[in-house]
Structure 1
Amino acid sequence: MVMNIIRNSRILQFSRSWFPVLKMSTVQEQKIKVGDQTINYVKSGEGPKVVFCLPGALGTIWSDFKPQIEGLDKSKFTIIAWDPPGYGHSRPPDRNFCTTFYEDDAQCAQEFMKMLGIDKYSLLGWSDGGISGIIMASKYPDNVEKLVIWGASSYIIAEEVETFQKLRDVSKWSEKMRAPLVALYTEKGLQDMFDKWCDAVTALYNQNSGDLCSSCLEKIKCPTFILHGDKDPMVASEHPGFLFSNIKMAKQYRFPEGKHNIHLKYSKKFNEMVTDFLLL
């Protein structure tokens, strides 16, 4: 199979409005073809430790990881972040929201890193990206050196399905949450995409009794750092404890006032803690 690397670089000046922006980014985006999928990504820094950032649902490089791309020490880390398949500028094609999309993302992510010639790396996985990160760490133990996850779970409970349904109408989202995604996907595109996401996770709940990747936890061999915001409205408080109890080499930290986006709201502390963990 011939894989074409497309060096379509441009200076990106996008930021999610829920965290302060001190300056515009000068990190250039690039594109690479992985099978039939175009992947949009950035690579920043020249450090010996490679860190691969996995965004959450509908998320992208800049909406989800700007403070990490710009804030982590580039002499210590090489930071890679992508728009997951079918999100952001990793289109076309649009995302296929089948019930295996977490596993599909994990496989595509591993193939993507192979295309970049990177054999060893650590993962920063937020929310949906954390779920795919769990799967990656379990399936590719020789590649994943360390795993950091937050806002993530290995199963879904009924109350969370109800929360997703309450959030289905994107016109009722806060403007801070909605505006950057509307700018990226359009109002109709955002609604269509989130409807499909809600349908997919509801189908997973109904078909698998809520299980997403619980069987993967015991297979994770790498050191794992589980973070959680105790006021996270999207993820039930039982999940970080379950992950901690079922991943062998795990540690955890909880932000008492944190919500779903602790890496954005508390980016300085988050970056410091993650740096200490990754360099240990």
Structure 2
Amino acid sequence: MKRIVSTFILFLFALSLHAQTNPKADPSKIAYGDNKAAGNYAKIRGMNMYYETYGEGKPLLIIHGNSGSIGDFSKQIPYFAKKYKVIVADSRDHGKTLDTLNMVDSLSYEQMSDDYAALLSHLKIDSAFVLGWSDGGINGLLLAMRHPEKVKKLAITGANLWPDTNSVEPFVLKYFDGIKKYYDKQKPSIARTVLLRHFNLLLTQPQIKPASLAKIQCPTLVMAGDQDVIKVAHTLLIAKSIPNSNLWISPNSGHGFLVLRSVDKFNVEVDEFFQRKYKKIAGRDLFQN
């Protein structure tokens, strides 16, 4: 079990390090997630939420995944900051937003989506484009459901509606359950508290009914890799359940394709979605579009 845990921690560290220091992805070598020039704290909902802003233009909120942070998007921030005002934050109990750890309440996606709505209000942003990866995609869905006025357009990748073998590859659930059981037995520490909250989140949440996605009225781009940890059939279900949705399944791709191998394609696809007018295709247009 120690070997499994070490492998997982090393994977997260390597992914974050790759995202932050790869010179091709970040030619300006900005330390995203630790940039004093762009960083600040928002005192909202009983916590200090750390966030950074980049660029000018229409606001774009980018939301990271489980055990992630702002630094995961070092390949998206410089691209989108050329034409948008990019807002990236460390979610509750993640990154530098850790002053919630002494609270007795458990972590939930609903809490986190409400946090992001409050952050936009704190920044005096009425509505924004929203991009979410993995748990960030779940937060994006809930943000559009619970605070529809805040989301102009939504793009999500690698999100799920519930955590079982119908939605997630069985290996993944077994893998994280094993790590959680390992940390259950360890001595109390901040690291243990953080990881247990994250794993509990992955293994027990969300619990979103497909029919409830009909509340999402904004245009939505639903994405995943064709070999994602989230099953393609489940991603298709999400897209079918949202009234104004587009679907993109990236070929030969896993859960992290947006930061590891298909960065340019991903950024362009999302950018084009935000820029174009959404339309329903029907009748003869089905042959021509």
TM range (shorter): 0.7 to 0.9
In 1: Cα distance, 2:104 partner to 2:233 partner: 26
The aligned residue for residue 195 of structure 2 is 194
In the alignment, is residue 163 of structure 1 matched against residue 165 of structure 2?
no
Which of the numbers 9, 17, 30 marks the counterpart of 1:25?
A: 30
The aligned residue for residue 153 of structure 2 is 146
Segment of structure 1 superposing worse, 154-163 or 111-120? 154-163
Q: 1:143 to 1:95 in 2, by over 3 A?
A: farther
Write the letter of the residue equivalent to 1:279. Q
Q: 1:187-207: CA deviations, max 9, x gaps?
A: x65454333333344344xxx
| Conserved 8 A contact 1:53-1:124 | yes
Write the letter of the residue equivalent to 2:247. Q
In the alignment, is residue 256 of structure 1 matched against residue 251 of structure 2?
yes
In 2: Cα distance, 1:170 partner to 1:56 partner: 18
In 1: Cα distance, 2:264 partner to 2:215 partner: 31
In 2: Cα distance, 1:248 partner to 1:30 partner: 36
In the alignment, is residue 67 of structure 1 matched against residue 75 of structure 2?
yes
In 2: Cα distance, 1:194 partner to 1:124 partner: 24
Q: Which runs of 5+ in 1 are unaligned?
A: 1-13, 172-187, 205-209
In 1: Cα distance, 2:55 partner to 2:95 partner: 22
Segment of structure 1 superposing worse, 152-161 or 259-268? 152-161
In 2: Cα distance, 1:216 partner to 1:85 partner: 24
Segment of structure 1 superposing worse, 89-98 or 146-155? 89-98
In 2: Cα distance, 1:94 partner to 1:133 partner: 23
| Conserved 8 A contact 1:41-1:80 | yes
Q: 1:200-238: CA deviations, max 9, x gaps?
A: 44344xxxxx73353431000000001110111x21222
Deviation at 1:257, TM superposition (A): 1.2
Deviation at 1:59, TM superposition (A): 1.0
The aligned residue for residue 16 of structure 1 is 16
Q: 1:190 to 1:231 in 2, by over 3 A?
A: farther
The aligned residue for residue 267 of structure 1 is 263
In 2: Cα distance, 1:55 partner to 1:69 partner: 12
Which of the numbers 60, 68, 84 marks the counterpart of 1:51?
A: 60
Identity between Structure 1 and Structure 2 (%): 24
Deviation at 1:108, TM superposition (A): 1.1
Secondary structure at the residue paired with 2:17? coil
Q: 1:98 to 1:268 in 2, by over 3 A?
A: farther
Deviation at 1:18, TM superposition (A): 3.9
Deviation at 1:279, TM superposition (A): 1.2
TM-score by length of 1: 0.78
| Conserved 8 A contact 1:59-1:87 | yes
How many residue pairs end up in the alignment?
Answer: 242
| Conserved 8 A contact 2:176-2:199 | no
Q: 1:74-133: CA deviations, max 9, x gaps?
A: 2x2000000001111012122869666111111111011101111110110111111111
Q: 1:81 to 1:97 in 2, by over 3 A?
A: farther
| Conserved 8 A contact 1:169-1:191 | no
| Conserved 8 A contact 1:230-1:254 | yes
Segment of structure 1 superposing worse, 53-62 or 92-101? 92-101
Secondary structure at the residue paired with 1:239? helix
Secondary structure at the residue paired with 2:272? helix
| Conserved 8 A contact 1:106-1:135 | yes
In the alignment, is residue 39 of structure 1 matched against residue 64 of structure 2?
no
The aligned residue for residue 223 of structure 1 is 219
- For the aligned residue pairs, the C-alpha RMSD in angstroms reads 2.6
In 2: Cα distance, 1:61 partner to 1:163 partner: 24
In the alignment, is residue 108 of structure 1 matched against residue 115 of structure 2?
yes
In 2: Cα distance, 1:164 partner to 1:98 partner: 24
| Conserved 8 A contact 1:146-1:222 | yes
Deviation at 1:151, TM superposition (A): 0.6
Structure (1 or 2) with the larger CA radius of gyration: 2
